[in-house]
Structure 1
Amino acid sequence: MTRSGPRPVIGVTVSRRSGWRIYPLIALNLWLAGGCARRWQAGRGIDMGTVDGVIIGGGDDISPDLYGGRLVTSARLDPDRDALERGVVLDAFARGMPVLGICRGSQMLNVALGGTLHQDAYATYAASDHRRTVLPRKEVRIVAGTRLARLAGDAPMKVNALHSQAVDGLGEGLRVAAHDRGGMVQAIERVEEPFALGVQWHPEHLFYARRQMGIFRALVAAARARGAEAAQLAGVDAEAG
């Protein structure tokens, strides 16, 4: 259960195109998990000193300029958002602040830490189920012994899928926490403080699922631990029970 006390404030980056419909869902999940949300997007001022944690939300593709990749013609880019979110991730880690990456946000977490992406993930992973839906119809396999497994269990999980890019080379300090049956990375996590988790799916659409809510509760627990100057990973593990 989430501990009592002031609600940690979580900065949430969203797309200028789709943020109007995605942000309310993320805010709802954070509220149910014991936190509160603050909307951030490119073109608006942000203040890292006013939040306790960060969510990098989904939406636009990430420019290959950030990691030396190849641009595909179907990519929908927002360079201003790329710059904002890369800076937010790096500043968050410099401040010892927890980070949750959702879909694009998981990819940005990886890129900000020096990793690379597959621009056309399903061309690379032909055996992966190419399902584009907000409904939980794609199966992912959680890696045993990871923090995600502690949070959500290591049984196969049904999730949604809206992405075209995926993690390729891992960024510094990250490990794979889940993949699909074709081998495509579906979740990554930081192995040391501060807490950071990236999931390729959209848990904000699945707020009715206990395993998905555990992801948001973990971020809130990490933010609360940071506020108490305590170990975040221990706080997350305690939340997981």
Structure 2
Amino acid sequence: MRRPVIGVTGGRRRGRISWLCAALSLRLHGARAVRITAPRTPHARFDPAVVAGLDGLVIGGGDDIGATLYGAEPVPDVWIDPARDALELAALETLWRTEIPILGICRGSQMLNIFAGGNLHQDIYTAFEEVPRIHTPLPRKHVTLEPGTRLESIIGKGTVTVNALHHQSVDRLGDGFAVAARDEFGIVQATEHQGEAFRVGVQWHPEFLFYRRAHRRLFGALVGAARDYAARG
């Protein structure tokens, strides 16, 4: 059986380390990663061939998502990438009606929620005043998994220690999504779609934690779902 092919979206300007870590995390479970970035030509139309032949998709982390996509006024001092926003939304529109497994990482988790009609807290330090300003790729934050969720079945019961590289988070849930994990301050740290297909979003960066078994399991579950999807043709 051929190795499953999993696309990984990312920014053209930066994010190479994240891409390399994601590719490694997928390779450890027998998958081949393909990097997907927005075209260089401004306002280029989405080409469905970009996602043709994929067995799975990772919407990766990176810049903030344009606030106008969910009906909010942009706040100052944010980095946005409109071309990437358009690419990921178009890719999701193309693939959503299939059973292809999708994992959203940090920004990617937020993009899944926006695609489904939800919105975001643009600044968690404003929405949650007691939250300490933690910004690290190392596992320093404790997240509690919701009982009975797909994510709990993958990672295990109780809590998991994660990193924190975000200042935005899911606010109102998109259609069909449910909370899969929160931190001690009530911030949504993971969501998952209630359909049969693997559609999970995590607010942390598991690709930077490939040396920890719990986070490797997340990529293992994605690759397993991709194999099943490929086997169904």
TM-score range, shorter chain: over 0.9
Confirm or deny that 1:132 pairs with 2:135: yes
Q: Does structure 2 retain, via aligned residues, the 8 Å contact 1:67–1:111?
A: yes
- Structure 2: how far apart are the matches of 1:174 and 1:25? 27
Residue 154 of structure 1 aligns to which amino acid in structure 2? Answer: K
Residue 31 of structure 1 aligns to which amino acid in structure 2? Answer: R
Confirm or deny that 1:33 pairs with 2:29: yes
- Structure 2: how far apart are the matches of 1:49 and 1:193? 21
Report the secondary structure of 1:17's partner residue. Answer: coil
Which residue does the alignment assign to 2:43? none
- Structure 2: how far apart are the matches of 1:130 and 1:183? 15
Report the secondary structure of 2:86's partner residue. Answer: helix
Q: Does structure 2 retain, via aligned residues, the 8 Å contact 1:128–1:181?
A: no
Residue 166 of structure 1 aligns to which amino acid in structure 2? Answer: S
Identity %: 49
Structure 2 gaps of 5+ residues are 41-46
Report the secondary structure of 1:23's partner residue. Answer: helix
Q: Does structure 1 retain, via aligned residues, the 8 Å contact 2:36–2:50?
A: no
RMSD: 1.4
Q: Does structure 1 retain, via aligned residues, the 8 Å contact 2:21–2:207?
A: yes
Quick one: which of 67, 70, 76 aligns to 1:67? 70
Quick one: which of 101, 105, 119 aligns to 2:104? 101
Which residue does the alignment assign to 2:180? 177
Residue 2 of structure 2 aligns to which amino acid in structure 1? Answer: P
- 1:185-226 CA-to-partner distances (Å, cap 9, x unmatched) read 000011112211100000001001111011101111111111
Q: Matches of residues 61-210 of structure 1 in structure 2 within 5 Å?
A: 61-210=64-213
- Structure 1: how far apart are the matches of 2:195 and 2:61? 24
- What is the CA distance between 1:7 and its match in structure 2? 1.3
Confirm or deny that 1:225 pairs with 2:223: no
Residue 216 of structure 1 aligns to which amino acid in structure 2? Answer: F
Q: Does structure 2 retain, via aligned residues, the 8 Å contact 1:67–1:115?
A: yes
Q: Does structure 2 retain, via aligned residues, the 8 Å contact 1:175–1:188?
A: yes
Q: Does structure 1 retain, via aligned residues, the 8 Å contact 2:57–2:103?
A: yes
Report the secondary structure of 1:33's partner residue. Answer: coil
Q: Does structure 2 retain, via aligned residues, the 8 Å contact 1:92–1:99?
A: no
- Structure 2: how far apart are the matches of 1:175 and 1:18? 31
Report the secondary structure of 2:217's partner residue. Answer: helix
Residues 85-94 or 108-117, more deviating: 85-94
- 1:62-117 CA-to-partner distances (Å, cap 9, x unmatched) read 01111101311121111000000111122221232110000000000100111100
- What is the aligned residue count? 226
